[in-house]
Structure 1
Amino acid sequence: MARDKRDSRWDAHREERRVQLVGSAIAAIRRTGAGIGMDEIAAAAGTSKTVIYRHFGDRAGLYTAICESVAGVLLAEVRRATGEALSDDRLGPRAAVAAGVDAYLRLIEIDPELYRFVVHRPLLVQGNGNRRSADTETPDPVNDLVTVIGDEIAVVIGENLRTEGSDGHAAARFWGHAIVGLVRGAADDWLARPDGTTRERLTAHLTDLAWSGLSGLASHVQEVQQ
């Protein structure tokens, strides 16, 4: 059944308002820190919690929208960085791995509080009355993002190691997700326990570790496929 035009004409306005509220929330997180509460987010947006809940359902809905915004930026940067490295004939797959790692770490370096907010979910574990808690099933954009990036890296690995067949594709997928887990774990520690290590140095460390494994896989893949 066709929607009433009186309802559909407000869709663009509602979406625009959601984008504005997410932008205000992100700016507030940067100023106040990852432990920001709903009252502070509403005040930063110049509105009330009731209005925010009207647009997002509850705090979990707002958290998901913020994560989706951050995920979109990060995924675009990882794709751009790895794509540029792979398109440069002077470089190779190792440079693509380094570029992807650096793109991930750059977000943390530029936006540490926003990264903490996304990864550690402080908004969801705060007291929230009768609204959904962190234990309730909600979409998890963080895991969704990790899955997408892992799959993208798996494609790069598969193409450059020429993995074929179901075993080869499965191996490439596992390796791609292992690299994402490696980077995320090290990145969390880098943020939690700063010791003066620069982003460039950490990128080099992680690329060395990841590539020392990947570079030795070519002969293994060939032996398995023969």
Structure 2
Amino acid sequence: MIGKSTGSTRPHLRRYGVLAVSVTSRIIRRVIDGRDEAGPARRDGRADRWRTHRLARRAEFVDAAFRALDKHGPHAGMADIAREAGVAKPRLYRHFADKAELHAAVSERAVALVRARLAPALAEPAPFAVMVRRGVRAYVRVLGEHPHVFRFVCDGGAPSVSTVAAMLTEALTSLGVGSPGSRAWAHGIVGAVQATGTWWLDQREDISEDKIVDYLSTLLGGALEAVARAEGITIGENEPLRQGDRHAHRQAR
């Protein structure tokens, strides 16, 4: 027989009920607040290790993307990259939301590779024309080593251009170019050099590395000199330049 409640629940059952509600509430608050019994230091340590692990795995997948692109060409798919990494394709999507995000990561790595090659090429002081030629040769050699990677990067559009253009804007600033036009000039110059470089990848049987270095050095050197002239800056033909130093001379207007 079921009787109606008269509020005569036994006291010890009421205490257990209150205790259960209290414990449950605390657990819910911890989940909402992101707290656990391990404490902040232990939790932060775990988070840091997990973040480091994810970054390492992401870097490994970018390495695999380079290998897949080198092997299968610029249209290598996520399945090709997953196979090269030795994982199932869904595993890639735990680290990259889609191919566009992977493209951004590959572009970032490609730009870092170009930057790493440019640094030693431009470290030793030399006349302007020599510095330009060194930088161009370093760039062309990276293109030649990973042609499909750079086709893939360029097919994706602007991010890589913007990153390299930012580097060139810094270089223009080091020459004394401080006008708002420096960013426009940098994007135009980088776009022209990148387009010519990727065009050359399909012309290597007819145009040697030395020849494309000649052509690109003329293009880049002439563009930089024109920008400098527009700003009233003279670049000494034989005066040694150092990366990041201001060794150009501003003309009196």
- TM-score normalised by structure 2 residue count: 0.66
2:104 to 64, 73, 92: 64
Tell me if structure 1 keeps the 8 A contact 2:68–2:81.
Answer: yes
Tell me if structure 1 keeps the 8 A contact 2:65–2:84.
Answer: yes
Q: Percent identity?
A: 29
Which residue is 1:221 aligned to? 232
**Structure 2: stretches of 5+ with no match in the other structure:** 1-33, 35-39, 234-249
Which residue is 1:155 aligned to? 173
- TM-score normalised by structure 1 residue count: 0.73
CA distance in 2, matches of 1:81, 1:224: 29
Q: Which SS does the other structure have where 1:56 is aligned?
A: coil
Which residue is 1:145 aligned to? 163
**Does residue 54 of the first structure (1) align with residue 89 of the second (2)?**
no
Which residue is 1:127 aligned to? none
Aligned residue type for 1:106: R
CA distance in 1, matches of 2:47, 2:135: 43
**Structure 1: stretches of 5+ with no match in the other structure:** 122-133, 135-139
Tell me if structure 2 keeps the 8 A contact 1:94–1:211.
Answer: yes
2:132 to 97, 100, 106: 97
Tell me if structure 2 keeps the 8 A contact 1:29–1:113.
Answer: yes
Which residue is 1:120 aligned to? 155
CA offsets 1:90-118 (integer angstroms, 9 cap, x no match): x3122112222222211111111111111
Give the Å deviation of 1:196.
2.0
- Number of residue-to-residue matches in the alignment: 196
**Does residue 74 of the first structure (1) align with residue 114 of the second (2)?**
yes
CA distance in 1, matches of 2:110, 2:154: 11
Aligned residue type for 1:45: A
Aligned residue type for 1:63: H
Answer 1 or 2: which has greater helix percent.
1
CA distance in 1, matches of 2:215, 2:184: 21
1:11 to 51, 59, 67: 51
Tell me if structure 2 keeps the 8 A contact 1:154–1:175.
Answer: no
- Please provide the CA RMSD for this pair: 2.8
Give the Å deviation of 1:53.
0.5
Which residue is 1:124 aligned to? none
2:70 to 20, 25, 30: 30
Aligned residue type for 1:100: G
Which residue is 2:201 aligned to? 191
Aligned residue type for 1:19: A
CA distance in 2, matches of 1:214, 1:55: 40
